[in-house]
Chains A and B, each alone.
Chain A
Amino acid sequence: MNNIIESLQYYMQYPFVQYALIVGTLIALCSSLLGVTLVLKRFSFIGDGLSHVAFGAMAIASVINLTNDTLLVMVITVVAAVLLLRTGQNTKIQGDAAIAMLSVGSLAVGYLLLNLFSTSTNIAGDVCSTLFGATSILTLTKSEVWICVIMSVVVVVLFCVLYNKIFAVTFDETFAKATGIPADRYNLLIAIVTAIIIVLAMNLVGSLLISALVIFPALSAMQVIQNFKGVVIYSAVISVVCAVLGIVLSILFSTPVGSTIVVANIVVFAINMLVSKLTRG
């Protein structure tokens, strides 16, 4: 035990570990706040779809040799999010089919582009680290940390101020619209914020595992809590605890960061489900 604490203290001195913890906590917090709304609105898969779009965008960015690719990736992902929301209202292609199409499509195009044009010698390694976030969270620069901090503060403030309206729009969109709340505008906002969070979260867990950050905390909280505010708060707590735990464990045992965080989330989900089964008899 002493050993572990000592080695933790040793690692904590390094700025890259501190950065990873700061960014991890913030992203976990934001994604869990959004997650509750997305899961309840039956948009769980939007996170998955958008993260693959982000992968495709990243491939484009690396092919044209952009040094700071975050901006391009973010713009493309936000546009995709807005488009997905639109197709949800169009009846020709159903919402879930549109997401699936975009999702696999951009994955394929992204990988193709990387293979055809990439100057890197280790394509497989690059792809793997984008998909699973292998080491990128430990190589964050100071400016990336700042971007993440600012974005997270914006998301949290927005969420708090609009909390009551988000609840109304999530619970009953028609009623909200009928009483004059511009529900479409809130849906648009939710889609844009989701896209931003996903691009930021790619650093943490990689694009394949982002959905887990969005879905698991919300689902865990919904197992045991019976009111909306409680679910939001509890899922934020779960998400942050799992992220910190996952990062620390991955450093101690040299496991991949993203998968460790997701496994922590799975364990918490299982525990919550068990508790819910037991308490309800």
Chain B
Amino acid sequence: MAYITCEDLTLGYDGSVVTEHINFQVNQGDYLYIIGENGAGKSTLIKALLHLMEPIQGEVVTGDGLKPYEIGYLPQQTVVQKDFPASVWEIVLSGTLAKRGWKPFYTKQEKQCVRENMEKMAVWDLRKECYRNLSGGQQQRVLLARALCATTKLLLLDEPVTGLDPKVTAEFYQLLQELNQSGITIIMVSHDMQAAAAYASHILHIEKDTTFYGTKSQYQKSEAWKAFQYTAGGAAHE
């Protein structure tokens, strides 16, 4: 059984449909790119995957040992976080909260886990720094460390490289690839077709009326890819 299975999913708000007929699977070790134009329903799908909203029809089924709340989420930056006075340590520590139920304070074990993840993401030296003073790339690595404290199975990233410069973006992709190779499943929501072509194992392309799901090589032979290439290429030449 797959980590996540979606069969004929219909999503929307208050009965009005945003997107429908979504079928896909996420298996352990996959690197799934979810692409599509703005308004096609990518963020709605994220909410459904995170169990923040109920689908109108169909179901998000988790399996293969993945519990519904074991998805490590890397959200887009909110306004609140821009001037939030929190140290890097405090933020990564909050990632362990979900696993511990009602116990009010952190244990030594949890702090150890936080330290390991911070070292893995090379943010341990920044632990006393204030989050709002970090660079964009550092902030993303901090949030990645937090997500890794919440789960060791599946990461869901929402446009993580927005606003990062090319060098930092490349480093970030490299980091994700290493995590993926170490066995962590990744779902990436992105506009970046080049990165999708370079890193993805599977691709889910959402459009208003049609969606495509398959492996990367299947996708590159499909109509959706050609159409997207055409529009993306056209935009780049203008």
Q: Residues on A close to B: CB < 8 A?
A: 40-42, 160-165, 167-168, 170-172, 174-181, 221-222, 225-231
Q: Give the chain B neighbours of A168 by CB distance below 8 A.
A: 94, 97
Q: Lowest 7 A-B CB distances belong to which pairs?
A: A180-B69, A179-B98, A226-B130, A227-B87, A178-B50, A168-B94, A178-B73
Smallest beta-carbon distance B91→chain A, Å: 7
Q: Is B188 an interface residue (CB 8 A)?
A: no
Please give me the residue from chain A that is nearest to B150 by CB atom.
Answer: A179
Q: With A40-B84, A178-B71 given, is the CB distance from A161 to B94 under 8 Å? A: no
Binds A, one of B75-83, B194-202, B214-222: B75-83
Instruction: Known A42-B80, A174-B52, A226-B87; judge A179-B105 contact (CB<8 A).
Output: no
Q: Is the CB of A167 within 8 A of B90?
A: yes
CA distance A160 to B104 in the complex (A): 8
A163 neighbours in B (Cβ, 8 Å):
104
In angstroms, Cα B84 to Cα A167, docked, is 11
Say yes or no: A162 contacts B104, CB within 8 Å. Answer: yes
Cβ contacts under 8 Å, A162 to chain B: 104
B85, A175: Cβ atoms under 8 Å? no
- Name the one of A160, A165, A181, A227 contacting B86, with C-beta atoms under 8 angstroms: A227
Which listed residue, B73, B80, B106, touches A40 by the CB 8 Å rule? B80
Q: A172-B81, A174-B50 are in contact. List 7 more A-B contacts (CB 8 A).
A: A167-B86, A167-B90, A168-B94, A170-B80, A179-B95, A226-B133, A228-B87
Measured between C-beta atoms, what is the minimum distance from A213 to chain B in Å?
Answer: 20
Q: In terms of DSSP, what is the predominant structure of the interface of chain B?
A: mixed
CB distance from A280 to the nearest CB of B (A): 10
Q: Chain B: which residue is nearest A41 at the CB level?
A: B80
A42 vs B94: C-alpha distance when bound (angstroms) = 20
* Residues of B with C-beta under 8 A to A161: 104
Contact with A along B45-65 (1 / 0, CB 8 A): 000001110000000000000
Interface presence of B115 (CB below 8 A): no
Residue contact A222 to B85, C-beta cutoff 8 Å: yes
Fill in one digit per residue for B124-164: 1 if any A CB lies within 8 Å of its CB, else 0.
00001110010000000000001100110000100000000
Identify 26 residue pairs between A and B in the complex whose beta-carbon atoms are under 8 Å apart, listed by A's number: A161-B104, A162-B104, A164-B106, A167-B94, A171-B84, A171-B86, A172-B78, A172-B80, A172-B81, A174-B75, A174-B78, A175-B73, A175-B95, A178-B156, A179-B69, A179-B72, A179-B95, A179-B97, A180-B98, A225-B85, A227-B86, A227-B128, A227-B130, A228-B85, A228-B86, A230-B85
**A230 to B, closest residue via Cβ:** B85
A177 to B49, CA, bound (A): 12
Q: Which residues of B contact A174 (CB under 8 A)?
A: 50, 52, 73, 75, 78
A221 to B84, CA, bound (A): 12
